[in-house]
Amino acid sequence: MQPLKIAVLVSGRGSNLQTLIDNIEKTEINGKIEIVVSNKKDAYALERAKNHGIEGVYIGKGNYPENDKRNDKLIEVLKAKKIDLIVLAGYMSILDRKIIELFRNRIINIHPSLIPSFCGKGFYGSKVHKAVLDYGVKLSGATVHFVDEGTDTGPVILQKAVEVDFDDTVDTLAAKVLKIEHELLALAVKLFCEDRLEVVGRKVKIKSSSDIS
Ligand code: GAR
């Protein structure tokens, strides 16, 4: 099977992008990152792409102030690269409906909590961990899911929990969750690239490798 063509959309540090790059370089994932798109001009993720010879592009409010033009540019890039899979790896912007329709069940997002808790509008990055600590829950975690028209509402692919300790701070909790984010995102992308994810209503079936022809 040909490696799938992947676009990774980012906004910042890019540690999840790095995990994908590393797993692809180790041939754990049968995919190729064709492009990294950032909506922030100075995102460190763009540096990471460059360091690995991957094309990076900035498409944000700075160079495309009008929403329609910005979305059209993103679609143009994704089409030009014949992208099979879009990965949102810390992408802090809501994707336009047109893109979701064009890439139905072919967009994966990583979220730093156990969805449906601590997700949706306003829950991103460290805000998620702060809300978790403020509430006092004993478990948090990470979720990888397909993207639909809602915010963090699409079918769940993988989840894993971490314990929240009494003395945890936003930083210590974020670090624990990030570790499992990397694990889950790499696994989800690997499974997608092996055609082992099947969306059945709201559920995602993970097919065993022997089920694949
Ligand atoms: C990650 O923790 C990711 O789950 C989160 O942003 C961080 C990006 O880190 N995404 C969201 O909150 C989306 N709702 P990274 O740039 O090092 O991959």
Give the model confidence (pLDDT) of 120-137 as tens digits: 999 999 999 999 999 999
- Does the pLDDT at position 11 exceed 80? yes
Give the model confidence (pLDDT) of 145-190 as tens digits: 999 999 999 999 999 999 999 999 999 999 999 999 999 999 999 9
**Percent of all residues in the chain with a pLDDT value above 70, rounded to a whole number:** 100
Distance CA(127)–CA(118), nearest Å, equals: 9
Instruction: Give the confidence band of 113 by pLDDT, cuts at 50, 70, 90.
Output: very high
Q: Which two tokens stand for residue 17?
A: 């992008």
Nearest C-alpha neighbor of 128 from the set 56, 79, 80, 181: 181
Instruction: Compute the CA torsion angle 17, 18, 24, 25 (nearest 10 deg).
Output: 150
For the chain, domains (ranges, CATH) are 1-103 (3.40.50.170)
- Does the pLDDT at position 1 exceed 90? no
For the annotated catalytic residues, the residue numbers are 111
Task: For ligand 1, pick from 9, 17, 88, 124 the residue to mutate: most ligand atoms within 8 Å of CB.
Answer: 124
Contact 54, 87 (CB under 8 A): no
Task: For ligand 1, pick from 178, 183, 184, 189 the residue to mutate: most ligand atoms within 8 Å of CB.
Answer: 178
Ligand 1 atom nearest the C-alpha of 112 is 4
- Does the pLDDT at position 84 exceed 80? yes
Residue nearest to atom 10 of ligand 1 (CA): 90
Contact 135, 128 (CB under 8 A): no
User: What is the 100 CA–ligand 1 centroid distance (Å)?
Assistant: 20
Q: Is the CB of 111 under 6 A from ligand 1?
A: yes
Q: Is the CB of 181 under 6 A from ligand 1?
A: yes
User: What is the 90 CA–ligand 1 centroid distance (Å)?
Assistant: 4
User: What is the 149 CA–ligand 1 centroid distance (Å)?
Assistant: 19
In three-state secondary structure terms, 111 is strand
Instruction: Give the confidence band of 211 by pLDDT, cuts at 50, 70, 90.
Output: confident
Residue nearest to atom 9 of ligand 1 (CA): 90
pLDDT at residue 213 in the model: 62
User: What is the 144 CA–ligand 1 centroid distance (Å)?
Assistant: 11
Ligand 1 atom nearest the C-alpha of 174 is 2
pLDDT at residue 212 in the model: 73
Give the model confidence (pLDDT) of 31-75 as tens digits: 999 999 999 999 999 999 999 999 999 999 999 999 999 999 999
Predicted model pTM: 0.97
Q: Is the CB of 90 under 6 A from ligand 1?
A: yes
